[in-house]
């Protein structure tokens, strides 16, 4: 399968280029430190000793999801547009690798390059909590929390951060994205119609609520689009994750023709 | 691979970049001369399968470039050095070539590595293989550019203004390198520098305003200026009614060489034209036609 091999090649190189970017690591470190230091009384650091490790690590994953994806969205915003800016669009168009493989590879490589620092942050949190709570199960729950809370949101954010700048520009997308992140994840749906608390929150509200056994942020809270706000639980967690992954597909499907249009006008 | 182009048109909105172009390139090293805006880059992008033609037929090695299968067949055997090629700043030369090689479908890792090593050696970058591309000079970047074009041993090599912006010594080295790879393949070299083509190609096409205005042996371009190239020594401003090709100030006045269909001044004497004057005559004939 040539296409699969080419997708894998793009994935590897995209990951390699991205993971070397100092801005990725600085953004991750700064946001993680800020979130750790400013967490309120409900933050995972203040959970009493004896709290199940599942709740502790779900708390950390949720806490990091408040801001880390914003940083990742910013860093990823130029990944599809930059080939043209760098003067590589014509060469890439002339190679016998299709735009589909290119987009898929950039998606997978971009996702991997944000998943690695995000996972490292959670493992660091697990290490710190282990020193404090002496429970090795914290590491296992860090992995579960990462898979259920962090990763689906990153998959969603990566797709939109790659493709939306093809419709606008990378700087404009960054501004809009910050606005969306707060409106769609954290703005109290009681105050203003928002997606906060629905199944469509990439923050991981539903999975976190399920793991913590109590409402994490707003999951299922009354508000706009009532049908998207079922009672949080195991089934709705699966549903929320499936919806996020499903929603990542349309932008990815649109990307090859958008890329073509953009490269042609080079 | 031979190139057969008939009636090729490409427009960008109201701008006609290629205006019913006909060209046949048999093989070997072939020049493509033309001033800025003549349509060289557009033609090369069409040949590389990057731009679809608005109208006309383009066949490369018998493959029709307007079909998907034809385009892929050509792209598998193509080496393309676009004008103003950029590089990924955070990759090394070795990594960049490896990436392009993979995208070209060179899946055998050992063979790919060997080829990259040979090419880096050929373009004189062996000492810089591990360095990040962001630190490369213009000449070094161009050499990475030609190395990536040659990956996969392409039958057709399309290079767009590869010598622009290089210092004279580098330019000479670069065009000699290009000439050395032309054995057994088709190399299409676009440039606006007459000397580049004169020193490396037997045959050339000359483009103006989206058409081919000359196609044949480079030496024949000189003939276009025979009988219409003049020398004149004068004080004061250059004579009107001709294209001044050179003006050298000496103790006895300014020595002008100019191309003009009629004697521009009673004192003007006809002289043997140079290649550049042939090129000017060609361009000038196109304008007044
Ligand atoms: N993508 C494009 N959009 C609009 N106009 C273009 C585009 N590409 C080329 N042109 C126009 O087509 C003409 C030929 O350009 P080009 O092929 O770059 O010439 P050359 O390479 O000989 O300098 C110019 O007038 C140029 O402005
Ligand atoms: Mg050009």
Q: In this complex, do A94 and B95 lie within 8 Å of one another by their Cβ atoms?
A: no
Q: What percent of chain B has pLDDT over 90?
A: 72
Please give the span between the terminal C-alpha atoms of chain B, in angstroms, as a whole number. 34
ipTM: 0.92
pLDDT tens-digit profile of A109-153?
A: 999 999 999 999 999 999 999 999 999 999 999 999 999 999 999
Chain A residues within 8 A of B88 when measuring between CB atoms: 17, 86, 88
Are the beta carbons of B51 and A6 separated by less than 8 Å?
A: no
pLDDT band at B289 (very low <50, low <70, confident <90, very high): very low
Instruction: Pick the residue from chain B with its C-alpha nearest to A11.
Output: B99
**Quick one: which ligand is closest to B162's CA?**
2
Lowest mean per-residue pLDDT among A75-79, B119-123, B250-254 = B250-254
Sorted by where each starts, the structural domains of chain B and their CATH numbers stand as: 3-221 (3.40.50.300), 224-283 (no CATH)
If phi > 0 it is left, if psi is from -120 to 50 it is alpha, else beta; for residue A170 that is: alpha
**For residues B134 and B88, is the Cβ–Cβ distance under 8 A?**
no
Order of all β-strands in the sheet with B243-250: B243-250, B253-259, B229-234, B269-270
pLDDT-derived band at A189, boundaries 50, 70, 90: confident
**What span, in angstroms and rounded, lies between the C-alpha atoms of B63 and B3?**
9
Residue A213 lies in a domain: no
CA of B79 to the centre of ligand 1 (A): 21
Is A9 domain-assigned?
yes
What are B's interface residues with A at a Cβ cutoff of 8 A?
45, 48-51, 72, 75-76, 78, 80, 82, 84-91, 95, 99-100, 102-105, 107, 148
Q: What is the number of the ligand closest to the CA of A89?
A: 1
Residue-wise pLDDT for B75-127, tens only, equals: 999 999 999 999 999 999 999 999 999 999 999 999 999 999 999 999 999 99
Domain annotation covers residue A222 = no
Per-residue tokens: B106: 């060179």
The count of domains in chain A is 1
A204, part of any domain: no
pLDDT given for residue A190 in this prediction: 84
For residue A136, being part of any structural domain is answered with yes
Contact B104 A94 (CB under 8 A): no
Give every CB contact of residue A56 below 8 A, 6+ residues apart in sequence.
Answer: A44, A47, A129, A133, A138, A141
Chain A residues with a Cβ under 8 Å from any Cβ in chain B: 2, 5-6, 9-10, 13, 16-17, 20-21, 86-88, 90-97, 263-264
From the CA of B9, which ligand is nearest?
1
Closest residue CA from atom 18 of ligand 1: B41
Burial of A134 (0-12, 13-18, 19+ CB in 10 A): exposed
Please indicate, yes or no, if residue A137 is contained in any of the structural domains.
yes
Two tokens, residue A96: 């016998």
Ligand 1 atom at minimal distance to the Cα of residue B192: 22
Q: What is the mean pLDDT of residues B191-195?
A: 90
Residue B288's pLDDT band (cuts 50, 70, 90): very low
Quote the domain boundaries for residue A174. Answer: 3-187+248-264
Residue B279 CA to residue A249 CA, distance in Å, equals 55
Which of B40, B82, B149, B160 to probe by mutation at the A interface, max A CB count within 10 Å?
B82
């Amino acid at each position: 399968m040539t296409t699969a091999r080419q997708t894998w090649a793009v994935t590897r190189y995209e990951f390699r280029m991205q993971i070397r970017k100092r801005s990725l690591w600085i953004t991750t470190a700064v946001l993680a430190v800020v979130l750790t230091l400013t967490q309120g009384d409900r933050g995972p650091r203040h959970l009493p000793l004896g709290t199940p490790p599942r709740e502790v690590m779900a708390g950390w994953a949720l806490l990091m999801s408040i801001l880390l994806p914003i940083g990742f969205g910013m860093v990823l915003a130029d990944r599809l547009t930059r080939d043209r800016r760098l003067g590589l669009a014509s060469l890439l168009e002339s190679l016998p690798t299709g735009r589909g493989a290119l987009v898929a590879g950039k998606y997978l490589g971009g996702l991997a390059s944000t998943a690695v620092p995000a996972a490292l942050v959670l493992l660091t949190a697990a290490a710190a909590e282990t020193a404090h709570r002496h429970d090795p199960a914290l590491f296992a729950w860090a992995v579960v929390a990462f898979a259920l809370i962090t990763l689906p949101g990153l998959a969603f954010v990566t797709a939109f951060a790659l493709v939306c700048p093809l419709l606008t520009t990378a700087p404009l997308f960054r501004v809009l994205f910050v606005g969306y992140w707060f409106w769609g994840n954290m703005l109290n749906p009681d105050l203003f119609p928002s997606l906060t608390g629905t199944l469509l929150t990439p923050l991981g509200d539903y999975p976190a609520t399920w793991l913590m056994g109590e409402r994490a942020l707003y999951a299922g809270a009354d508000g706009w689009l009532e049908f998207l706000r079922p009672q949080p639980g195991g089934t709705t967690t699966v549903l929320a994750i499936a919806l996020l992954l499903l929603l990542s597909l349309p932008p990815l499907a649109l990307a090859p023709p958008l890329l073509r249009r953009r490269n042609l006008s080079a | 691979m031979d190139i057969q182009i008939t009636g090729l048109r490409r427009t960008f909105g109201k701008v006609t970049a290629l205006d019913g172009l006909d060209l046949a390139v048999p093989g070997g090293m072939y020049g493509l001369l033309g001033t800025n805006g003549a349509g060289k880059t557009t033609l090369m992008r069409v040949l590389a399968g990057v731009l679809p033609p608005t109208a006309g037929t383009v066949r490369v090695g018998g493959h029709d470039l307007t079909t998907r299968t034809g385009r892929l067949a050509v792209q598998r055997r193509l080496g393309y050095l676009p004008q103003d090629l950029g590089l990924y700043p955070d990759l090394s030369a070795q990594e960049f070539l490896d990436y392009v090689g993979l995208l070209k479908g060179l899946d055998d890792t050992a063979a790919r590595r060997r080829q990259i090593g040979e090419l880096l050696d050929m373009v004189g970058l062996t000492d810089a293989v591990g360095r990040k591309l962001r630190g490369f000079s213009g000449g070094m970047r161009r050499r990475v550019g030609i190395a990536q074009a040659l990956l996969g041993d392409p039958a057709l090599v399309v290079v767009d203004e590869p010598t622009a912006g290089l210092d004279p010594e580098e330019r000479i080295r670069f065009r000699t390198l290009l000439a050395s790879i032309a054995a057994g393949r088709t190399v299409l070299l676009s440039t606006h520098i007459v000397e580049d083509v004169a020193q490396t190609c037997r045959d050339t096409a000359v483009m103006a305003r989206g058409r081919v205005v000359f196609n044949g042996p480079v030496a024949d371009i000189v003939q276009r200026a025979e009988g219409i190239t003049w020398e004149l020594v004068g004080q004061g401003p250059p004579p009107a009614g001709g294209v001044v090709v050179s003006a050298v100030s000496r103790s006895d006045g300014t020595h002008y060489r100019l191309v003009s269909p009629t004697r521009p001044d009673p004192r003007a004497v006809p002289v043997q034209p140079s290649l550049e004057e042939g090129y000017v005559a060609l361009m000038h004939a196109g304008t007044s036609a």
